[in-house]
Structure 1
Amino acid sequence: MKPTESELEILQVLWAKGPSTVRQVNEQLSQGREVGYTTTLKLMQIMHEKGLLSRTEEGRYHIYQALIGEEETQQHLLDRFVDTAFRGSAMKLVMQALGTSKATPQELAELQRLIHNLNPENN
């Protein structure tokens, strides 16, 4: 399931902070821009209904936790992005990314290491 942009922001807070109340998530989101508490509450309720979040009661508070993993979600979103924006070509994505920004020598060395490790002849 592909989370919306707003849902992804909430998931990022929960991935970073762990199980949290709506207020805790809202406070984190509001550091970047003004987000209403009721908006965050409604989104998290919808995400719970969609199966993106679990919800447990602790006293009078509801504690929410992400039910989908960060890496799994990133991979799914990246796969869709590569398919739609680059017609399935990971090479086009990498060439575009490297062509529009300056990669540091350390980043280029890391890319070379990753490419080396992907080659079955090297393993």
Structure 2
Amino acid sequence: MKKLKPTESELEILQVLWQKGSATVREVHEVLSLHKDSGYTTTLKLMQIMYEKGLVVRNDQSKTHIYQPNVTKENTQQQLVGKMIHNLFGGSTTALVMQALGSNKPNLEELDAIQNLLNDLKKAE
């Protein structure tokens, strides 16, 4: 299957759909308008493009179309992080992690989760 590459605006829409499970254009637009100034028709057009690209599926049984994500959050994150590691960090996962931890100080709970992941990775070797 061809890897789908959502744009930044498409990712914002996907975030809403991942959270809600399914939504109309109006519902998505209402969430987006809380933190972004864009028109309803812009959201509609983006979601139509996303449907054509295969990023979302649409149920058009009723007058109001209901959209659902057609890509998982996990797969999308994995694809985008992989691309970022390759393009920005020369393929170095270490460089990415060092940059992330240096830029954003994790709290104790996050540090514990990171440590547990590192321990699990060491055990798997």
TM-score normalised by structure 1 residue count: 0.92
| Aligned counterpart, 1:51 | 54
CA drift of 1:121 comes to 5.5
Identical columns (%): 53
Counterpart-to-counterpart distance in 2, 1:63 and 1:110: 36
Which residues in structure 2 correspond to 1:82-97 (within 5 Å)? 82-97=85-100
**Any gaps of 5 or more consecutive residues in structure 2?**
none
- Which 4+ residue blocks in structure 1 deviate beyond 3 angstroms? none
Distance 1:100 1:57 in 2: 44
Query: 1:74 corresponds to which letter in structure 2?
Result: Q
Say which SS state the counterpart of residue 3 (structure 1) adopts: coil
Amino acid at match of 1:30: S
**Counterpart position of 2:39:** 36
Compute the RMSD of aligned alpha carbons. 1.5
Taking structure 2 as the reference length, the TM-score comes to 0.90
Query: Which digits, 9 at most, give the CA deviation of each residue in 1:53-112, with x for residues without a partner?
Result: 111124211111110000000000000001111001010111112223323333222222
The residue number in structure 2 matching 1:63 is 66
Q: How many angstroms apart in 2 are the aligned matches of 1:121 and 1:44?
A: 41
Give the greater-gyration-radius structure (CA).
1
**Pairs aligned (count):** 122
